[in-house]
Structures are given as C-alpha cells and as structure tokens.
Amino acid sequence: MTFTAHQKRQAAQAQYADGLELCPARQLLEAISSKWVTLVMLELADGELRHSELRRRIPGASQKMLTSTLRSLERDGLVTRLLTLSVPVRTDYELTPLGHSLLGVIHGLKEWADENMGQVEEARGGYDRARESAG
C-alpha cells in the first residue's frame, strides 16, 4: 500500500496532535506564542480595560480574533472578565495574578525587540542587498 504526500502529511499531523495531547505544556507554549496574546496582555498591563477600548488600541485585530483571544486567555486563567450590569452591559478585562506572571515574560520579549531593533534592521538591509545583487 502506498500513500500520497497528502495522506502522509495528514498522518504526521494526526500523530503530532496526539503528541500534543500528551504534552499540554507544549500546547500552552504554542498558545502563548501569539501576536494577539502579546498585544492584548501588554495593553492590559496598566489595569482593566473595556472591550471597546481594547478594540480601539489593537485595531489590527478583527472583532472575532479579539473575542477568541480574550476567551482563551480567560479560560486559561490569565484574564478576568468583569461584567457591570448596566444598560448596555459593560465588559472589562483585567489580568489575573497568573496573567501578571506571564506578562513579565512577555515584557522580556518586548524589551528584546526594543533593544535589538537596530541589529535586526541592519541584518535586513544586508539580506536585501545580497538578494538584489544576486538577482
């Protein structure tokens, strides 16, 4: 019996998914290695924010992406959703203590980007010039 590339890929992915179930910490690492998680967590660093305020501050995120990111952060215990029973209902989000501990690591990523941007831009310039002269 032979398998197509597509079938082999599906089998590898199924195996990968099985492996992930066995390794929840890796799954968690993948979940927190996300641009939207980084941006939402950094916006919540200084205190609670309304859903609409988060949308305004992260306009690159679609409503759907922002909602699913917040739901996943809430489910993981990183963010608390605060409901105010006004009309209309007001929803705020704030970091939990666990969220603050993750924020510390995310701050490390942000500091790295701030400190090394110059070197990265230099590398990009060199890469682009090399490709231009090769092309």
Q: Which residues bind its own copies (CB under 8 A)?
A: 9, 12-13, 15-17, 24-26, 28-30, 32-35, 37-39, 59-60, 62, 74-78, 98, 101-102, 105-106, 108-110, 112-114, 116-117, 119-124, 126-128
Taking the complex as a whole, the smallest distance from the CB of residue 98 to its own copies amounts, in Å, to: 6
Nearest distance from C-beta of residue 52 to its own copies, angstroms:
13
Q: How far apart are CA 20 and CA 35, in angstroms?
A: 21
CB-based contacts of 119-127 (< 8 A; 24+ apart in sequence): none
Residue 17 · residue 30 · CB < 8 Å: no
Q: Which is nearer to its own copies, 12 or 45 (CB)?
A: 12
Distance in Å, CB of 75 to its own copies, minimum? 4
Query: Of 12 and 82, which CB lies nearer to its own copies in the complex structure?
Result: 12
Of 65, 67, 66, 73, nearest to 99 (Cα)?
73
Of 89, 79, 70, nearest to 48 by C-alpha is 79
